[in-house]
Chains A and B, each alone.
Chain A
């Protein structure tokens, strides 16, 4: 072997290592901590927004930012908060916990923000939640699920697993059958989601006949679908997310799984509908948001969103959560009469709004509570509310 050959071998090996690094879903480094920031009575409300607008969950990050920006525009056009425009500093957290923690630190120490908002993935929420708590700055997420951390400073606007599953599971067991397959992307949120689903299914006399997870970025779902098919489920609960959700559901259709088994879950949310090619039409899911929800506030939001972003597709739930979340924060700060942290947090716990979801408020556990909907997907991406399930409580203790 010549020296040159060895050098090139090293080159290709280096390339392979790089490929592996790129394939991995981001390293997880614990969040640093940063100094605090009190905020002042006369200051404008200053919010640090973090969204992964690049990386594997960029579509969710962008949708959240769109909802947030729309609310910001409306609030500021309406006179702002405490008589001043809300100021927003934005950073892309790239769905990477280390970058998210650094961004949070920077927003707190350099930009002196009063409030942190955003992140999509659970690990980034956790990283930011730690930084925010350490620095005693309130932090809100908008993506479904909890922020993965429970402290007095964390206020999550997303619908949690029990809110989605508590009514969905008995409905599906009753109408579709008792044999259930669970599938998900392999990270904490889908595993937690399906873990709770298993408890509820088994508690109600159903049977989990298969449970499969695949790493984010899985393109070929054939082996997973093979395992699910051979378990012959009556329905499949899918917590596969992102582009993978589209690959999984379309391939499940291609291999005939959807002809014998119904499907519900996170993979059916509005975000992924345009790419599904209609294969989810006629299926049901439980969500908090649908752009077909009745009420003036939602009609106004839908019209404004469609116009602002030239948006024809179903409006993603995370956009609605971010929109409603910022409006809620603005109402709380207005009620507090100051941007000072303790007063704002007191106000968050007592504020109620009547917005696009109906009446909203935070529980003692910092769960954002409002009506949940049983929704049927209809052709053309209409998420038609079939039944208003009312407030579905999340009894989980803060852990």
Chain B
């Protein structure tokens, strides 16, 4: 029984973290068609803001991290990505790759490469069905899941969410119906990035922080988006759950290195036998933008 509870808690905490990542990355990919390879580095940036502003109490510090992350995302979308959309995914992928390098080098220049850490605002552990579990992990997971539920509520139950879904589904039609595409693109990129920053800020007290921290989170987030059920914004969440479950199962059964190998192999197979896995968003906006250019 204890083993089952421990396993469930481990899956849940990892899912809380990956859900934020997958949702953020999925939103950005769905709306912008941008393969955001700097996503893990935004996680790192969130964690380092928590380290850099240690004098500020924890909750306001998280909020500051989100605001800074949002401002950075705004600048990146406006100055870097906007001119590149018409050039296709490769241009934006490379641009984001560059952003990732800049973020890592900046963290290195400002904080150095010696591992850093952030004090946990909540210490100790509590008993969950007979299993002692670190309190902060449960708090971070709860916050992550509440945020995820709030996002789903906004996306499926509000006017803004309807507009968001409309632009993702068919930007041209949405635009003809009076939903301006630019603000929606900007809002999605900022929001998606802020989710990565939030994930990093919440995880910070559990990690040894180095400028390369984010790289490890990129692949699971990608796979969560790839695995996700097509046709809905909840797809990446399903993907995140699969990734968390698979990762914990394999790591329970095998050594870490073997588990990592099998994890990626299993996901590649999963994606290969589910080629429709990515069809959850059709990229009309690219063709729409191209169509507007003079022939």
| Chain A residues with a Cβ under 8 A of chain B | 1-2, 4-5, 7-9, 11-16, 18-20, 22-23, 53-56, 58-59, 61-63, 186, 212-215, 217-220, 222-224, 226, 242-248, 250-251, 254-256, 271-272, 274-277, 313
Contact = CB atoms under 8 A, between A and B. Distances in A.
Contacts of A243: 115, 207-210, 212-213
For the residues of A in contact with B, the DSSP-based class is helix
A242 B203 contact: no
Contact of A272 (B14, B208, B212): B208
Contact of B112 (A11, A62, A245): A62
Contact of A11 (B89, B210, B213): B89
B216 to A, nearest CB: 4
B136 to A, nearest CB: 7
B116 interface: yes
Given A246-B207, A275-B116, A56 B256 contact: no
A198 to B, nearest CB: 16
Interface string B74-105: 00000000000000111001000100000001
A219 B217 contact: yes
A12 B226 contact: yes
Contact of B256 (A1, A213, A256): A213
Nearest to B90: A11
A219 B256 contact: no
B22 to A, nearest CB: 12
B93 A5 contact: no
B207 to A, nearest CB: 5
A212 B255 contact: yes
Interface string B220-237: 001101100000000000
Interface string B247-286: 0100110011101100010000001000010110011101
A7, A15, A22, A61: residue with the most chain B Cβ atoms closer than 10 Å: A15
Interface stretch (B29-37, B63-71, B146-154, B182-190): B29-37
A218 B256 contact: yes
Contacts of B216: 23, 217-219
B170 interface: no
A14 B257 contact: no
Contact of B113 (A15, A23, A59): A59
Given A56-B212, A217-B212, A246 B115 contact: yes
Interface residues of B, number: 66
20 contacts: A2-B282, A4-B284, A5-B278, A11-B33, A12-B278, A13-B226, A14-B93, A15-B35, A18-B97, A19-B215, A19-B219, A54-B105, A186-B256, A214-B256, A215-B257, A219-B216, A219-B217, A224-B256, A251-B206, A275-B208
For B13, B132, B207, the residue with the greatest tally of chain A CB atoms inside 10 Å of its CB is: B207
A312 to B, nearest CB: 12
Interface in B195-213: 203, 206-213
B11 to A, nearest CB: 10
Contacts of B286: 4
Given A8-B278, A59-B113, A59-B115, 17 more contacts: A4-B287, A5-B283, A9-B278, A16-B222, A18-B37, A54-B108, A56-B212, A62-B112, A220-B206, A226-B6, A243-B213, A246-B117, A247-B208, A250-B207, A254-B120, A272-B115, A272-B208
Given A12-B225, A243-B210, A275 B115 contact: yes
A213 B93 contact: no
A279 to B, nearest CB: 10
Interface string B134-148: 101100000000000
B10 interface: yes
A272 B114 CA distance: 7
Nearest to B276: A1
A54 B226 CA distance: 31
A243 B118 CA distance: 13
B137 to A, nearest CB: 7
Nearest to B287: A4
Contact of B207 (A59, A63, A219): A219
A62 to B, nearest CB: 6
Contacts of B223: 16
B114 A8 contact: no
B173 interface: no
